[in-house]
Amino acid sequence: MTGIVFFTTNELETLRTFYTERIGANIAVDQGDCLIFEKNDFNFAFCTRDGEPEVCGVLTFLFEDTEGVDNIYEQVSDIAESKPTDRSPDYNIYQFYAEDPEGRTLEFQTFLEE
């Protein structure tokens, strides 16, 4: 691993199911009250803690091509804000947004070739 982004959660088992079954992430390390996930060389983790869950920021999952983005869209279309699009021409990306069960923003994108 080269780095990990950690978030606190109140719903660790819900997130375990969501990220493994819906997003296709692997559990890299299970520390009991903390789970470290890996998806496409992106490492992120959730740890059970008292208080409000951390939901600030955007978890962005990168794919090799538009087909990869379209495939994940088919898996999570029921929670997506819209269909995949290249509506961000300034950034030359193809992407869409969704939310995880605790309300964190998820972005699924690929960089378009020029």
Q: What is the pLDDT of residue 90?
A: 82
Q: What is the pLDDT of residue 114?
A: 65
- Residue-wise pLDDT for 55-86, tens only, equals 999 999 999 999 999 999 999 999 999 999 98
d(CA 105, CA 38): 17
Q: What is the DSSP track for 7-63?
A: EEES-HHHHHHIIIIIS--EEEEE-SSEEEEEETTEEEEEEE-SSSPP--SEEEEE-
The pTM of the whole model exceeds 0.95: no
CATH of the domain at 107: 3.10.180.10
Which residues of the chain, if any, have pLDDT below 70? 1, 114
Tell me 2's DSSP state. -
Number of structural domains found in the chain: 1
Q: What is the pLDDT of residue 87?
A: 74
Q: What is the pLDDT of residue 2?
A: 84
Structural domain including 76 reads 5-48+56-111
Q: Check: CB of residue 99 under 8 Å from CB of residue 58.
A: no
